[in-house]
Structure 1
Amino acid sequence: MIKAWLLDVDYVTENDRAVIRLWCKDDKGVFVAYDRNFLPYFYVIGCKAEDVMKVKVRTNEGIITPLKVEEIEAKSLGKPIKALKVYTRHPQHVPKLREEIKKFAEVREADIPFAYRYLIDKDLACMDGIEIEPIAVKEGVLRAYEVRSVRRVEKKGFPDLKILAFDCEMLAQFMPDPEKDPIIAIAVKCGDFEEVLHGDERDILRRFVSIIKEQDPDIIVGYNQDNFDWPYVKKRAEKFGIRLDIGRDRSEISFRGGRPKIAGRLNVDLYDIALKIPDVKIKTLKKVAEFLGAKVEEEDIEGRDIYKCWMRGEKEKVFKHVLNDVLTTYRLALELLPMHYELSRMIRLPLDDVARLGRGKQVDYFLLSEAKKINEIAPNPPEIEESYEGAFVLEPARGLHENVACLDFASMYPSIMINFNISPDTLVKGECEDCYVAPEVGHKFRKSPDGFFKRILKMLIEKRREMKRQMKELDPDSEDYKLLDIKQQTLKVLTNSFYGYTGWNLARWYCRECAEATTAWGRYFIKRAVKIAESMGFEVLYGDTDSLFIKKNKLNLKDLEKECLKLIDVISKELPIQLEIDEFYKAIFFVEKKRYAGLTDDDRIVVKGLEVRRGDWCELAKRVQREVIEIILRERNPDKALKFVKNVIEEIKEGKFKLEDYVIYKGLTKKPDKYESKQAHVKAALRAMEMGIYYPIGTKVGFVIVKGGGSISDRAYPIELIEEFDGENLKIRTPSGIMVKKIDKDYYIDHQIIPAVMRILERFGYTEASLKTTIQKTLFDFT
């Protein structure tokens, strides 16, 4: 028997049959195990076996038929059913047979990738232990075995994995084009090894391939490398006839569904993980790294200055820039990957696939594994999209408030689903004498037996509770404590994803009634908690989904904490939910629902839902709003904040700001010429295309608005076409030559600066006219 860590699973085709490959790592290094004893299959309900065996699908490769059919007994939403298990010769036959059989019967679980199917059925998990019974040694470029059997062996901790980060720089005056713009540098970081590759492009690419082979990383990371760096490197390598044979079996990097795949190595795009961090609205490498404390030193140049620096001969600045980016990427990986190791283990799938999946899909695959354990055949995702009423939100109180507590209903929605047995298999649509009935919406759920969701949520919550209990007995600096902390955080993420999953129309276990009932009970509990708080003398300033902001009789924070604990005790005795103190604020103001800013008791400024955190505002507007928030919260002086904004407006009129202050960035979700509505960033991208500059999908287009006639979109120009800016006049390249336009100061004042600050200032009694006539007030005139 061989015991190891399971890192990845894929398959190869040999003699027209799919052979599973298990990429594993033990004390001797990485090896691959081949399992030839697993066949692709799917389920069919509502017809006879002979009907399925008669199915024939004609393709260019020949006629496809089922290999064999088994009659089985299983469950569907907890009820016994009879089904057919239809085996095929190859995974690629499944979708073809599925579409034909769907014409006369119900097809289930026919969209699960073959490697995932193997993990689920064999009860294996990536990033966990595996025990392999080998029957032969297979010859090849690395250690390999043919296997008789495999089984999961749960291991403590995580495997010792080698991470390699890389980042590329291209020499392009505008958006890089792999057809013509060369790679001038690739920075690589792997453990203690770091190097910036530069010089002849052929040598750069060959050296890059050599480094990957020499360093032999288990994980390769980058930031947006799936959509940009890897396709670019591949295209440039093809130009020079260089093979990117960086797979551990010496195969070349491949692209499946637009995603790079490297045999035996996990290719993790950290940008995919960043997309799931809700507190970071602008997903650039620097912004995400700053948020997580992983950013390296400040740089002399920005990415858009690379071309100018290179052409001026300032190559060292370029090399420093790309090195800083790769060091930041590496640090980011060290911050983000540990939780995803655990998520990979829980969901069972390979790390790089887990990183790409959204929360809904992560829950989906977790549930598939749990369903397999109880012989449950998963439902198909619905083909409809329905809306339902959301959470209760209390209208926020105006003005600035001091000494405020934020109470959090910890894991409220999972608690509701457990307490009222909310699950697709417990939903009763007819009469029911022994059911929980949701307030307002009236949906009924059986009290017993426990539903599929309740059993899983209880298991997840109990596991997390036990881990937190163990953590209390450990030194916070110990490895055991840190490992348990990662595990409990991962459990929390998965647990809190369940409620949203039930209302997601692509979920296999989609259930609109479950989502409606959960929010209905949530609204009831929040409203009841508000009444209890008010009866105990608290002023409830704001209530939002699963939290309350309260204060009491101008108590200081120490006394407020004591009163909050009494309130929590009373609410916990009446309502089946857990309430805890989330944050204390020395000062806080609410702009509208889900939008507020506060100064915490440890002197941090917390901003939720305001424009300062959005990406479609110019840098100047974001900077001005941040300063307004700082002045109001730290100095308690709205008049000063107003004067500050007036000064900025005057400086705009006087032309005192740089081009970068006016640039607005917005991402492209499709090709510019595919948009029906020509928004400003789309119009700017189309102008760039006229000059031979192309933006890949997902790129953020930087543009400014110039003075002139027509709509705002008509006056949007991409920054790549701007040659000079003197604070007022822009020299812009066009197909007919250089054109001079004025920056539209009125647009930036009326549509950027004023909207960014007035939503805040109007809560203190100011209007836009106040920007011209200031009335001296104290902040608490509006409380």
Structure 2
Amino acid sequence: MSTDPNQALKRRRLNKAGSQNGTLESQPSFLEDLNELEQFSQATKLDDPKLLWDRPSIDALDPAKDTLIFQQIEADEYTNHQNNTPVIRFFGVTEGGSSVICHVTGFLPYFYVPAPPGFKLENIPLFKQALETGMERANSIVKIEWKLKESIYGYHGGEKSPFLKITFKEPKNIAAAKRAVERGLSFGNFKDYAPQTFESNIAFLLRFMIDCNVKGANWIELPAGQYSLRHDRNSNAQINVEVSYDKMISHEPEGEWSKIAPLRIMSFDIECAGRKGIFPEAKVDPVIQIATMVTIQGESAPFIRNVMVLNTCAHIVGTHTMSFEREEDLLKTWSEFVRRVDPDVVIGYNTSNFDFPYLLDRARHLNVHDFAFLGRLNDIRTEAKDTKFSSKAYGTRENKAINMEGRLQLDMLQVMQRDYKLRSYTLNAVCAEFLGEQKEDVHHSIITELQNGNEETRRRLAIYCLKDAYLPQRLMDKLMCLINYIEMARVTGVPFNYLLARGQQIKVVSQLYRKAIEKDFVIPAVNTQGMDEQYEGATVIEPRRGYYDVPIATLDFASLYPSIMMAHNLCYTTLLTREMIQKCNLVKDVDYVITPNNDSFVTAEKRKGLLPIILEDLLSARKRAKTDLKKETDPFKRAVLDGRQLALKISANSVYGFTGATVGKLPCLQISSSVTAYGRVMIERTKQEVELRYTVENGYTHTAEVIYGDTDSVMVKFGVKTLEEAMELGKEAAEFVTTKFVKPIKLEFEKVYFPYLLINKKRYAGLYWTNPKKYDKMDTKGIETVRRDNCRLVQSVIDTCLRKILIDRDVVGAQEYTKQIIADLLQNKIDMAQLVITKALSKTDYANKQAHVELAERMRVRDAGSAPALGDRVAYVIIKGSKGTAAYDKSEDPLYVLENNIPIDTKYYLDNQLSKPLLRIFEPILGEKAESLLSGDHTRTIQVSTPSIGGLMRFAVKTLTCLGCKTPLKKGESAVCAQCKDRAPELYQRHLNVVNALEVRYARLWTQCQRCQGSLHQDVLCTSKDCPIFYMRKKVQKEIQDSTATLDRFVDW
């Protein structure tokens, strides 16, 4: 590495401090990982690593004698075209690791309609004929049965009504029959009969799972003598069987059946050689490398690690490297590899939207016809289809849906976007957040240069590609994503793939249908087009803003909304109308209660609601799982139990939201609005009870004051000075207030904040204590520490201020620090990495002008080759402009700013980024004096860089000044004037020291980047705009160039 190839020889002789050779002692981290993985690898002991690709062979299965047990991981449905009947198809894995496809026959779709008044059994043939005529499909109905059921909507006095259960030959008949019924049927004496249909809008697969008590990813048993072998050529599973739906046994995923089969997990990444300035396009740019790692669930090390490379590639430790001359052969071999390895789970990072669509398009373009058969069925091609997913919880996202029959897909990018709120979702940023490490981020424009180099440069690219295949696996293991999703599928009873493709509601629907079957309820198919009804949300007790240097006890309601629904028996099945109250002669407060929202529900003694029963089951199952978790010592079983208790908690909390979803499967605002109404009453009641009991008049040393309350918690200032006293009073108050509410509502003491900064509603910070010896953490809510649209300076300043205020108890120190930062900002002393804002260039047409979009366009005009492409994150800073210039016109590329000394608009950062977050923190403490942080002596010195381009600089003639006294130099003078000539040695040494110090700093930054990229012997190629070191390195590099140029002026000395 050389900072500047044109350094003067005399300076190199003097400068020995700039060497960075003393930092080569540690090994590159990822190569160390590969080396370590090799120790566990069977591949290194085999002459042919391809022998590991296939699943272990199995003994012949005898259906007459052998019971078959497997964990089903995915299910779908298809029609047997020989008899036009539906078949459910399970894909699974046995405990020994063999792949299974199980075809389940005999189960047929159905729905219900209420029988019209006066309807008799002898009317069924006429009704059947009228319905088939309306459907325009003869012989599509298998049978119609008379059933006594009760609608789930409302309390009907326990009376059941006659329903007609209509069973069809095929699932597609359901929609046609539903439309025919809703249009109206006439038969016999019944004219224009158009009732509401029941259970006609549930997917056939989910209907089957509910009726047969199959849960997502549970274990299925096929008893000996009850199933038969199939010999399909269109499947590559090791075991292919068929069974009637009533002969299989579905095991509840508890106890020994909570285990997880040894699933094969394949993680992969691809590299493409794009053209300069153009993001890779599948029709033009080749796939040059595919790295793949395969791991068995429950094991830490991948047992297959390979990389397929176009052209030669030098050896990589612990890795099977395969070289190809033709891209077609590379693609063909990888698809064969996928089929032979037969993974159960396929993971990666952005594989759904980039890697898979690119591979499929590229293979199609190159006419590699058999590439696209990547699933477990040999006759179904894998395709990428555009999908749009919209959910209140997750927002709207456009994605590609990739079908790989029989294989679960877990794109870790989508998992991150659904489950975590982060500043950036690049793999680099996510790994820094969860794994505590950075990764080399090579821009797509550099990849082609590495590929076109030699076998060593391709090796470097292959290591980069391997790491990108390894990191999703590490992320999945660290965050327990697969286990947690499996447990969520088991708890809610939905297929695994519903969890990523569908929202929250389907999970509640599954549980509701299961419980309804047990109790003989039927569920109406509600057509919701979105209703304008709104209901009042949770209560927030007006905060008494301020800085509290005394302990603040926090009392929390345990599972507030679920416990309200259980305590007050709130359910579809218990909801009352005035007519039903009169008809059944119900007595208020005995047979029914009126909620604070003026809705009526029968008591549990009269009828226990389905939703309370579901919630009780979920919460008691969670209690069992947590108890088992405490006893369990096996790490893998502990992970499963922890995933289970988390899934149970999330499921319980989502039931309330389901009832309030106006555009939903089964909205009931009487339930959701009653829940929030009870919640408001309980928060107010808690405040009242605490402030009435804990007073000086009642013998306590201080009178308690509730300073804030929010949804399910209240913050209490008991007035005591010590943590021990606050904790004791908190526990006592929680127990006392609990006695005032109906069981199972429970107020718990959970934590003390000390000190506590209450900024506003839903905005506070404090030290979080659960024991008086040591605080657990600094807890913040609603404060700008993770917002993505802020620069890093905001996050670091706010975090440091809070630490000084809360941990150091140094408010004055926080003020001084803030003033210093503002002074440094205005004097241009803040590292530019702290001022960079990044946003994704996600589309070309925005409604309003955006800073990052405008910049991308300007960069394209300057140099199309280095400009951001669609999908890139655009990094920018705000530069100075003329008065009134919009921010989007002042956005600029940070590197361009560094190279051309363009002045930063520091006032913009103070006014638009820092001021509001700082005032929010300091106003509760300082009041009006907080404004003084943003003005005063520390804000009066403003330093502006002299730009080297643009504006008047285009007409400026540069004049050298003396490095000693700044006097303009005469012709022939290069460094110092005649008066300062005697000081030349001293001035030279001073500037040399500056260059030496800069070179040492640059060497340290360079070595840090080398360690991150995995080699201390290669140039740094990383261009991660999410990494602050990238900008530090570029800034120091520019400073070295400028300082070296100054030093080189001493030519005649």
Q: What TM-score, normalized by structure 2, do the two folds share?
A: 0.65
User: What is the identity, as a one-letter code, of the residue corresponding to 1:297?
Assistant: E
1:60 aligned residue: none
1:522 aligned residue: 679
Q: 1:162 to 1:109 in 2, by over 3 A?
A: same
Describe the superposition over 1:48-97 as per-residue Cα deviations: whole angstroms up to 9, x where unpaired: 4443211246xxxxx79844462443332165344444555544454455
2:314 aligned residue: none
Is 1:376 paired with 2:521?
Answer: yes
Structure 1: gaps of 5 or more residues? 58-62, 731-741, 776-783
| Residue of 259, 263, 270 corresponding to 1:161 | 263
1:409 aligned residue: 557
Note if contact 1:162-1:190 (Cα within 8 Å) is conserved in structure 2: yes
Note if contact 1:66-1:97 (Cα within 8 Å) is conserved in structure 2: no
Task: Quote the Cα distance in structure 1 between the aligned partners of 2:363 and 2:511.
Answer: 39
Question: How far is the alpha carbon of 1:416 from its aligned partner?
Answer: 0.7
Is 1:75 paired with 2:247?
Answer: no
| Residue of 178, 183, 188 corresponding to 1:103 | 183
Task: Quote the Cα distance in structure 2 between the aligned partners of 1:183 and 1:100.
Answer: 52
Task: Quote the Cα distance in structure 2 between the aligned partners of 1:315 and 1:642.
Answer: 53
* Residues 675-694 of structure 1 aligned to structure 2 (within 5 Å): 675-680=846-851
Describe the superposition over 1:726-766 as per-residue Cα deviations: whole angstroms up to 9, x where unpaired: 18757xxxxxxxxxxx6544332211122232222222224
Q: Which moved more, 1:120-129 or 1:313-322?
A: 313-322
Is 1:428 paired with 2:576?
Answer: yes
Question: How far is the alpha carbon of 1:166 from its aligned partner?
Answer: 2.2
2:615 aligned residue: 457
Is 1:344 paired with 2:506?
Answer: no
| Residue of 708, 721, 724 corresponding to 2:896 | 724
1:34 aligned residue: 103
Q: Which moved more, 1:571-580 or 1:65-74?
A: 65-74
Note if contact 1:656-1:727 (Cα within 8 Å) is conserved in structure 2: no
- Bigger share in strand: 1
* Residues 48-87 of structure 1 aligned to structure 2 (within 5 Å): 48-56=127-135, 66-68=140-142, 70-73=144-147, 74-77=149-152, 80-87=160-167
Question: How far is the alpha carbon of 1:120 from its aligned partner?
Answer: 1.9
* Residues 661-672 of structure 1 aligned to structure 2 (within 5 Å): 661-666=834-839, 671-672=843-844
1:298 aligned residue: 438
Describe the superposition over 1:485-514 as per-residue Cα deviations: whole angstroms up to 9, x where unpaired: 332222111111111221122332321111
Is 1:137 paired with 2:217?
Answer: no
Q: 1:426 to 1:203 in 2, by over 3 A?
A: same
Question: How far is the alpha carbon of 1:137 from its aligned partner?
Answer: 2.6
Note if contact 1:75-1:375 (Cα within 8 Å) is conserved in structure 2: yes
User: What is the identity, as a one-letter code, of the residue corresponding to 1:457?
Assistant: L
Task: Quote the Cα distance in structure 2 between the aligned partners of 1:644 and 1:64.
Answer: 82
Q: What TM-score, normalized by structure 1, do the two folds share?
A: 0.85
Is 1:634 paired with 2:807?
Answer: yes
Q: Which moved more, 1:338-347 or 1:48-57?
A: 48-57
Secondary structure at the aligned position of 1:330 is classed as helix
Q: Which moved more, 1:502-511 or 1:86-95?
A: 86-95
* Residues 387-406 of structure 1 aligned to structure 2 (within 5 Å): 387-402=534-549, 403-406=551-554
Task: Quote the Cα distance in structure 1 between the aligned partners of 2:221 and 2:573.
Answer: 35
Question: How far is the alpha carbon of 1:478 from its aligned partner?
Answer: 6.0
User: What is the identity, as a one-letter code, of the residue corresponding to 2:482?
Assistant: L
Q: 1:24 to 1:760 in 2, by over 3 A?
A: same
| Residue of 294, 316, 323 corresponding to 1:190 | 294
Task: Quote the Cα distance in structure 2 between the aligned partners of 1:663 and 1:176.
Answer: 26
| Residue of 893, 917, 921 corresponding to 1:760 | 921
Task: Quote the Cα distance in structure 1 between the aligned partners of 2:856 and 2:181.
Answer: 45
Question: How far is the alpha carbon of 1:260 from its aligned partner?
Answer: 1.4
Secondary structure at the aligned position of 1:543 is classed as strand
Secondary structure at the aligned position of 1:358 is classed as coil
Question: How far is the alpha carbon of 1:327 from its aligned partner?
Answer: 2.8
1:587 aligned residue: 755
Q: Which moved more, 1:623-632 or 1:192-201?
A: 192-201
User: What is the identity, as a one-letter code, of the residue corresponding to 1:548?
Assistant: V
Note if contact 2:791-2:835 (Cα within 8 Å) is conserved in structure 1: yes
User: What is the identity, as a one-letter code, of the residue corresponding to 1:144?
Assistant: N
Note if contact 2:273-2:447 (Cα within 8 Å) is conserved in structure 1: no
2:419 aligned residue: 277
Describe the superposition over 1:296-347 as per-residue Cα deviations: whole angstroms up to 9, x where unpaired: 6333x336x4534764777666555444443331122222221221111122
Q: Which moved more, 1:647-656 or 1:509-518?
A: 647-656
Q: 1:723 to 1:443 in 2, by over 3 A?
A: same
Q: 1:763 to 1:320 in 2, by over 3 A?
A: farther
| Residue of 585, 591, 605 corresponding to 2:778 | 605
Note if contact 2:562-2:655 (Cα within 8 Å) is conserved in structure 1: yes
Question: How far is the alpha carbon of 1:164 from its aligned partner?
Answer: 1.8
User: What is the identity, as a one-letter code, of the residue corresponding to 1:587?
Assistant: P
Q: 1:628 to 1:581 in 2, by over 3 A?
A: same
Q: 1:246 to 1:589 in 2, by over 3 A?
A: same
Question: How far is the alpha carbon of 1:414 from its aligned partner?
Answer: 0.7
Note if contact 2:76-2:89 (Cα within 8 Å) is conserved in structure 1: yes
Q: 1:2 to 1:434 in 2, by over 3 A?
A: farther
Question: How far is the alpha carbon of 1:144 from its aligned partner?
Answer: 0.9
Question: How far is the alpha carbon of 1:718 from its aligned partner?
Answer: 8.3
Task: Quote the Cα distance in structure 2 between the aligned partners of 1:184 and 1:396.
Answer: 59
Task: Quote the Cα distance in structure 2 between the aligned partners of 1:437 and 1:684.
Answer: 62
1:737 aligned residue: none
Note if contact 2:140-2:170 (Cα within 8 Å) is conserved in structure 1: no
> What is the aligned length?
748
Task: Quote the Cα distance in structure 2 between the aligned partners of 1:659 and 1:241.
Answer: 49
Is 1:695 paired with 2:887?
Answer: no
Note if contact 1:18-1:36 (Cα within 8 Å) is conserved in structure 2: yes
Describe the superposition over 1:363-402 as per-residue Cα deviations: whole angstroms up to 9, x where unpaired: 2233233333334332335322432111111233333324
Question: How far is the alpha carbon of 1:255 from its aligned partner?
Answer: 4.1
Note if contact 2:505-2:665 (Cα within 8 Å) is conserved in structure 1: no
Secondary structure at the aligned position of 1:725 is classed as helix
Question: How far is the alpha carbon of 1:232 from its aligned partner?
Answer: 2.5
Q: 1:11 to 1:685 in 2, by over 3 A?
A: farther
Question: How far is the alpha carbon of 1:241 from its aligned partner?
Answer: 2.7
2:597 aligned residue: 441
Question: How far is the alpha carbon of 1:591 from its aligned partner?
Answer: 1.9
Question: How far is the alpha carbon of 1:411 from its aligned partner?
Answer: 0.6
User: What is the identity, as a one-letter code, of the residue corresponding to 2:921?
Assistant: I
Task: Quote the Cα distance in structure 1 between the aligned partners of 2:723 and 2:789.
Answer: 37
Question: How far is the alpha carbon of 1:117 from its aligned partner?
Answer: 2.5
| Residue of 119, 137, 152 corresponding to 2:250 | 152
Task: Quote the Cα distance in structure 2 between the aligned partners of 1:374 and 1:682.
Answer: 58
Task: Quote the Cα distance in structure 2 between the aligned partners of 1:281 and 1:363.
Answer: 31
Q: Which moved more, 1:42-51 or 1:106-115?
A: 42-51
* Residues 117-136 of structure 1 aligned to structure 2 (within 5 Å): 117-132=207-222, 133-136=226-229
Q: Which moved more, 1:41-50 or 1:570-579?
A: 41-50
Q: 1:5 to 1:282 in 2, by over 3 A?
A: same
Secondary structure at the aligned position of 2:522 is classed as coil
Larger radius of gyration: 2
1:616 aligned residue: 789
Task: Quote the Cα distance in structure 2 between the aligned partners of 1:86 and 1:717.
Answer: 64
In angstroms, what is the RMSD of aligned CA positions? 3.5
User: What is the identity, as a one-letter code, of the residue corresponding to 1:55?
Assistant: G
